Amino acid sequence: MTPDGSIPAGDHLVRRTLTEEVLTPDHPPRTASAEFERNRSALLAAGHGCLVCGSKGSAEHPLEAHHWIEWSGWEHVDPAKMAAVLQRIDVYGYGAQLGAQPIQSPDDIRNLVLLCSSAPLQAQPVAGGHHRGVDMGIHMVTFPIWLLQLVVRDGVDVTAAIASVKAKDPAMAGPQPAGG
C-alpha cells in the first residue's frame, strides 16, 4: 500500500477474515521463568534483532521474545515432535548446537524468536510491531503473509498495517485537507 493507503497500480487487495477457535489447556497465569529470562538475554547478547525488520529495539520499544510453539499450549505438546519442528525452523542455530537434547519447557531457547514491539512503516510506528501489530504481527496475520514481510523489496508494504494504524490514530494520518 502507498503512504496514503491506496493500492498501487498493478496490485490488488485480497481481504480475508480469519476465525480461530483454539482449545487451550488450563494453565496458571503466565510469568517470565528464569529460563525464559536467561534465554531472552542470550538472544539479545548475541546481537539478534527482530527477525523481520532487524530492529535492535529501544527502551521505549523493546524486542519481545515470541514462542514459536505457544506457551499456553505446552500441556498439549509432545516434546519430541516439538524438537523435530524446531530443528526445521532453526533461525539462530541453537537447534543444530543442542542437537537431540530434550526440550523440557516452552522457554527453551530453540523455541524463542525476537520480534519488535514497534515497527516503522512508511515513517510511522506500528504499535505491536512484528509481534502483535495489527495487519503486521505474527499473532495478527497468516504465517505466509508474515513471512512475506521478511523478503519484500525495501519500501514495499504488503499488508494494510499503515492504513489500519492511521485509521485508528488520526494524529498519525497527517495533515487533513481544509474542510475535511
Question: Residue 171: pLDDT above 60?
Answer: no
Question: Residue 129: pLDDT above 80?
Answer: yes
Report the share of the chain in percent with pLDDT over 90.
Answer: 33
Q: Identify the band that residue 172 occupies on the pLDDT scale cut at 50, 70 and 90.
A: very low
Q: Distance (Å, rounded) from C-alpha 82 to C-alpha 102? A: 10
| pLDDT reported for residue 176 | 39
| pLDDT reported for residue 34 | 96
Contact between 155 and 8 under an 8 Å Cβ cutoff? The reply is: no
Q: Distance (Å, rounded) from C-alpha 79 to C-alpha 82? A: 5
How do residues 37-65 score in pLDDT, each as one tens digit? Answer: 999 999 999 999 999 889 898 888 889 99
- Which tops the pLDDT comparison, 94 or 10? 94
The CA dihedral of 143, 86, 156, 46, to the nearest 10 degrees, is 150
- Which tops the pLDDT comparison, 154 or 115? 115
Domain ranges of the chain: 34-116, 117-167
Q: Identify the band that residue 99 occupies on the pLDDT scale cut at 50, 70 and 90.
A: confident
Q: Give which of 82, 84, 81, 68 is closest to 138, Cα–Cα.
A: 68
Q: What is the pTM of this model?
A: 0.78
Averaged pLDDT of the chain: 81
Question: Residue 33: pLDDT above 90?
Answer: yes
| pLDDT reported for residue 165 | 53
Percent of the chain as helix, strand, coil, to the nearest 5 = 35, 10, 55
Q: Identify the band that residue 173 occupies on the pLDDT scale cut at 50, 70 and 90.
A: very low
